[in-house]
Every structure is written in C-alpha cells, then in structure tokens.
Structure 1
C-alpha cells in the first residue's frame, strides 16, 4: 500500500462511518457521535500515517486521539481528572510515543511528564517543601526563567549567544 494514501484513506473511511452512523437508526452508537469522535478519527489517521512512514504525525496523532478519549471518558469515569495536567500528560505521551518510533522527543516528553505530574499532584508536591512552601508559589517563574535561558542564552556550544 502506498504510504501517502494511509492518512486520507483512514480519514475518508472514518468520516464516512461517522456520517453513516449519524444517518442510521442504530441508537446505541448515537451517544458516541459527538465532535470527540472526529478528534479520534483524525488522531488515529495521523498515528497510522506516522507508523507507516518516518514517524511524522505520531505526536499530533497521539495528542488528538488522547484529547478525543479524554472528552469521552470525562463524563463516564468518576476517577478521571478534568484538569490541565491531563492535557499536558497527553502531550507528554505523544512525545514519548514519537521517541519510541523516531528516537527524537525524549527530552520534551520527560519535560512535559514532569510538568504534568507537578500539575496533577500540585498539593502533594507543594507539601514536600514544608517550611519552604511559600517559595513554591514562584515555580511558574522558574519555568519562565528556564525557558528564557534556553531561548536566549544557551547555544549548542555551551556558550551564551552574542547579539
């Protein structure tokens, strides 16, 4: 099968089934035909394309699929968190799956995983600081400073950039 035909093929089949089921009289499938289904279909198409080719599309595929699943299960699973950390965790999983296929994205995946863990378990992490708990309120500023350092100071050779 031609690798360039995987994505559009899955999109056409998936959207075709989606619209077919919308018009059909099959009642048990109707609750699953919301917009998260379109995220799932598109995400699965990206994942299939990425695994068939060089890995491009795996990250976006995992993110779209993960968001689609999240929006479905949030109403059905009482233990499922509806928190910003869940979205960051899904992005982390996307980078880690991409790394599994391509060998790139491990640092990004771990970075997002750490941020997701801090976000999801904020009160627990905050409690670890004990007497220094008031300093913990500045952790977003630490993220901003680290990002600024990576963007504007650090270069590949280890020396600060010159303007």
Structure 2
C-alpha cells in the first residue's frame, strides 16, 4: 500500500530546517544552503516516497535530483570536483540502475550504456593512448551506435 503523505512531509521538514538554521547565523551555513540544497531536499523527498511509501517509480527522479544537488554543491565547494558533461550522464545512468534494481523493469540497458559512455569520456585521452588508431576510427561512429541502440530499444525490444 502506498503512503501518500511522505513526499510533502519530507519536503516541508527539509525546507523548514533550511529556514530555521538560516535564522541562527551559523558560520559557513550560507555556503551549504544554496539552490543545490533545494534539489537535494526535493530528491530526498522523492526517495523517501519511493522507499517508505513503496512508490518505486519515484526512485529515478529522487536519484537524479540528489545527484544533481551533490554535483552542484561539489562544484561550489571543492576545487577538485570534475566540471565535465559526463557527470550528468553518470547521474542519469545511476538513476536508471537504482530504478532497475527495485522494479526489475526498464533501465538496465540505458543505465549501463550511459555509464560506459561516461567512463569513456572521462578517460578519453587514456583510451586514445591505449587503443591508438582503432579508437580514432571508432570515435567517428560511436554516435551512430548510440542512435542504433536507441532505435532498437524504441522499435524492436518489446
């Protein structure tokens, strides 16, 4: 049985905590409670709804928002945090895999593909050094492979 009051309850508690803690002028609190914190709170509300309320379709949205919140906080707070487009595909791939792990339905193949694309893009220079001319040939055709995989999933996999 799905419990419907979890999402708004967690959302209100989280936003209330932000406003309460901002009233006390705690040092460094302004670095933490910025707009990515709102993404984190909304994402956590979706995850609570997913796991406690047994509404497993909320897992994808929750992981996506929590991942984006962590990523944008990481960009603001840490100089070593990667500012690379592949971070978004990693977050989306992990969200697909979390949803698949609970529902055992769609999400495994797109999640794995997105993680592989992310890892290849992060290690692009190392892959070129390792595979040399083969990778140079393949790099021109990998978008076609992604389009083909998408068409297969859309039209042929039922």
Q: Same fold (TM over 0.5)?
A: yes
Equivalent positions of 1:5-154 (< 5 A) are 5-52=5-52, 53-104=54-105, 105-138=107-140, 139-152=142-155, 154=156
Q: Which sections of structure 2, spanning at least 5 residues, go unmatched? A: none
Extract structure 1 runs of 4+ deviating beyond 6 A. Answer: none
TM-score, normalising length from structure 2?
Answer: 0.85
* Contact map agreement 1:21 1:30 (CA 8 A) in 2: no
How far does residue 155 in structure 1 lie from its aligned partner after superposition? Answer: 4.9
How far does residue 110 in structure 1 lie from its aligned partner after superposition? Answer: 1.1
Q: Separation in 2 of the partners of 1:5 and 1:33?
A: 25
Q: How many residues align?
A: 154
How far does residue 149 in structure 1 lie from its aligned partner after superposition? Answer: 4.0
Alignment RMSD (CA, Å): 2.0
Q: Give the number of the structure with larger relative contact order, counting CA–CA contacts within 8 Å between residues 6 or more apart.
A: 2
* Contact map agreement 1:54 1:102 (CA 8 A) in 2: no
Q: Separation in 2 of the partners of 1:96 and 1:71?
A: 21
TM-score, normalising length from structure 1?
Answer: 0.82
Q: Which sections of structure 1, spanning at least 5 residues, go unmatched? A: 157-163
Name the larger-Rg structure. 1
User: CA separation of 1:42/1:102 partners in 2, compared to 1, >3 Å: closer, same or farther?
Assistant: same
Q: Which moved more, 1:68-77 or 1:28-37?
A: 68-77
